[in-house]
Amino acid sequence: MAAKPPKPKPKAAPAREHYHHGELRRALIDAALELIGSGGPEAFTLREAARRLGVNHRAAYRHFADKETLLAAVAEQGFWALLGAAREAVGALPEATPEARLLAIGRAYVRFCAMNPAHFRVMFGARLNEGGRFPALEVPIAEAFEVLQREVASGVEAGALAAGTGPRMAALSLWSAMHGLATLIVTRRIAVRKERLASTVDTLLEPTVRGLVAKR
Amino acid sequence: MAAKPPKPKPKAAPAREHYHHGELRRALIDAALELIGSGGPEAFTLREAARRLGVNHRAAYRHFADKETLLAAVAEQGFWALLGAAREAVGALPEATPEARLLAIGRAYVRFCAMNPAHFRVMFGARLNEGGRFPALEVPIAEAFEVLQREVASGVEAGALAAGTGPRMAALSLWSAMHGLATLIVTRRIAVRKERLASTVDTLLEPTVRGLVAKR
DNA sequence: ACCTGAACACCGTTCAAGT
DNA sequence: ACCTGAACACCGTTCAAGT
């Protein structure tokens, strides 16, 4: 039996032989989410992600201009998913009261954030489009806000919501409440067991929804 | 005239000759806030802060065990200031309705965050006490929540607030709304001009407060 | 044309030597 | 006892050489 030649360089992972088009891109995104999920945003480094996938750290640059661009891809993916969750929530309640529909959006929003904390931190952590570098990020955010605002507006039309200071301000109120609750849950300042998530969210968002509904 | 001896090493700053007890500590905290304020959390490095103050980067370790400890000091300072702002807000309205007092706390909270974005990011960014390393951070947070909860409880006692699911849940509702609004303003997802800050905050928090007050 | 290792300019933190 | 520079093990990113 011939002796095996010694490996010249021990690699962290067995190193998949090849990533075909787009596979490495997706694998890098997943690795980023995994690292952020277990060790926070600063645990994600391009080098560590590449190491885990058994590729040279330079390989990432074939798919992303730089680290920030990879994070923007994570964020964009997350925003579309969040939008989808919100749309699904209202779509499932075609005949419900405005109150119930608004609450359902809030529940979907907080639920998505609580279940995808790594996505959440990338989406709402550093302001990736601050310099206008990733305008694509604004599209799903704007659409999600549209969903909320349209819901408020149609509630006002139906006479179920107080007109107050207009649908935009009302939508911002609810967004604040939803977003604050999501933030406090993800950062563990409010502890919620998974099984009780939906009911806790309902309890905590109800005052805001009720305040929007109440005519003074 | 004798020629000046050439400086052996050009320093970034004129380098204050001496920082007496505690001064460097405070200067480092201020430098951290300045760097975070202008370039975000990742712009703060111990080396850059030391460079700005004209001291060796090792000097920081005389006052802080590591970078995280310095950030914890920033956060703690911020939490006490936030607590002070909340207390001042309710203290100024001894005879007001519970509704007005709750709104005043919210206004103070959001105003503090909006005016101190660097503090805000350190306080509510990375969870510094995750591993129980900085338990001192919990003290002012817990006290601030106490202020809120006590206010709700006394409103219920006075019959002005619906008992609902208890003062703790009501306080959490309001905290969510306050915190979400503060977050959205600091991250510039809601744009507010400084002069209109107080009135915008009032408009956006009112539905939640009203919902807590409304008896169904 | 594609991939990769060395190199560069940064970090936070540790060590060991200066006074 | 105190301060500091070199050193270490990391980064993200650039360069230039390999195939």
- Domains of chain B, by residue range, sit at 15-64, 73-210
Confidence of residue B18 (pLDDT cuts 50, 70, 90): low
Name which residue leads in pLDDT, B21 or A99: A99
- The percentage of residues in chain B with a pLDDT greater than 70, rounded to a whole number, is 88
A contacts of B214 (beta carbons < 8 Å) = 210-211, 214
What is the per-residue pLDDT for B158?
Answer: 85
A contacts of B184 (beta carbons < 8 Å) = 172, 175-176, 179
CA dihedral sign of residues B6, B11, B13, B17? negative
B208 Cα to chain A: minimum distance (Å): 4
Confidence of residue A215 (pLDDT cuts 50, 70, 90): low
Pairwise CB contact (< 8 Å): B176 & A214? no
Name which residue leads in pLDDT, B31 or A216: B31
Q: What is the mean pLDDT of residues B59-79?
A: 95
What is the per-residue pLDDT for A21?
Answer: 63
Confidence of residue A139 (pLDDT cuts 50, 70, 90): very high
Pairwise CB contact (< 8 Å): B203 & A165? yes
Each residue of A91-126: b (16+ CB within 10 Å) or e?
A: eeeeeeebbebbbbbbbbbbbbbbebbbbbbbbbbb
CA dist., res. B43 & res. B176, Å (int) = 29
Q: What is the mean pLDDT of residues B44-62?
A: 93
What is the per-residue pLDDT for A170?
Answer: 95
Pairwise CB contact (< 8 Å): B164 & A207? yes
* Range B73-210 has CATH code 1.10.357.10: yes
Protein-covered nucleotides on strand C (Cβ within 7 A): 3-6, 10-15
Q: What is the mean pLDDT of residues A124-145?
A: 95
A107, A208, A215: best to mutate for the B interface, most B CBs within 10 A: A208
Over residues B6-15, the pLDDT tens digits come to 333 333 344 4
Over residues A54-75, the pLDDT tens digits come to 999 999 999 999 999 999 999 9
Q: What is the mean pLDDT of residues B36-42?
A: 93
B contacts of A216 (beta carbons < 8 Å) = 210
CA dist., res. B9 & res. A81, Å (int) = 54
Over residues A74-105, the pLDDT tens digits come to 999 999 999 999 999 999 999 999 999 999 99
Does A7 score more than 50 pLDDT?
no
Confidence of residue B162 (pLDDT cuts 50, 70, 90): confident
Q: Which nucleotide has the least CA–C1' distance to B46?
A: C12
> What mean pLDDT, rounded, does chain B reach?
89
Q: What is the mean pLDDT of residues B31-38?
A: 96
Does A12 score more than 60 pLDDT?
no
What is the per-residue pLDDT for A11?
Answer: 37
Over residues A143-200, the pLDDT tens digits come to 999 999 999 999 888 887 877 788 999 999 999 999 999 999 999 999 999 999 999 9
Does B164 score more than 80 pLDDT?
no
B contacts of A206 (beta carbons < 8 Å) = 173, 211
Does B17 score more than 60 pLDDT?
no
What is the per-residue pLDDT for B5?
Answer: 39
Over residues B142-160, the pLDDT tens digits come to 999 999 999 999 988 888 7
Q: What is the mean pLDDT of residues A131-152?
A: 96
Q: What is the mean pLDDT of residues B201-206?
A: 97
Q: Which nucleotide has the least CA–C1' distance to A57?
A: C4
Cβ within 7 Å of nucleic strand C, residues: A 55-56, 58-59, 61-62; B 44-48, 57-58, 61, 66-68
- The overall longest dimension of chain B from CA atoms, in Å, is 89
Residues 23-82 of A with CB under 7 A from strand D: 44-48, 57-58, 61, 66-68
Lowest mean pLDDT among A166-170, B132-136, B158-162, B179-183: B158-162
CA dist., res. A151 & res. A197, Å (int) = 23
Residue that the structure tokens 């609902």 belong to: B164
CA of B31 to C1' of D9 (A): 26
The answer to whether the beta carbons of residues A113 and A182 sit under 8 Å apart is yes
Lowest mean pLDDT among A14-18, A190-194, B70-74: A14-18
Over residues B83-121, the pLDDT tens digits come to 999 999 999 999 999 999 999 999 999 999 999 999 999
The CATH class, in words, for A15-64 is mainly alpha
Q: Which of B125, B174, B190 faces A172 most closely, judged by CB atoms?
A: B190
B contacts of A187 (beta carbons < 8 Å) = 124, 127
What is the per-residue pLDDT for B156?
Answer: 87
Q: What is the mean pLDDT of residues A202-213?
A: 94
The answer to whether the beta carbons of residues A85 and A145 sit under 8 Å apart is no
Q: What is the mean pLDDT of residues A2-13?
A: 38
What is the per-residue pLDDT for A156?
Answer: 87
Q: Could you write out the DSSP letters of every residue in A139-198?
A: HHHHHHHHHHHHHHHHHHHTTSS--TT-HHHHHHHHHHHHHHHHHHHHTTSS---GGGHH
Residue of chain A whose Cα is closest to the Cα of B177: A177
Measured in Å, how far apart are chain B's first and last C-alpha atoms? 89
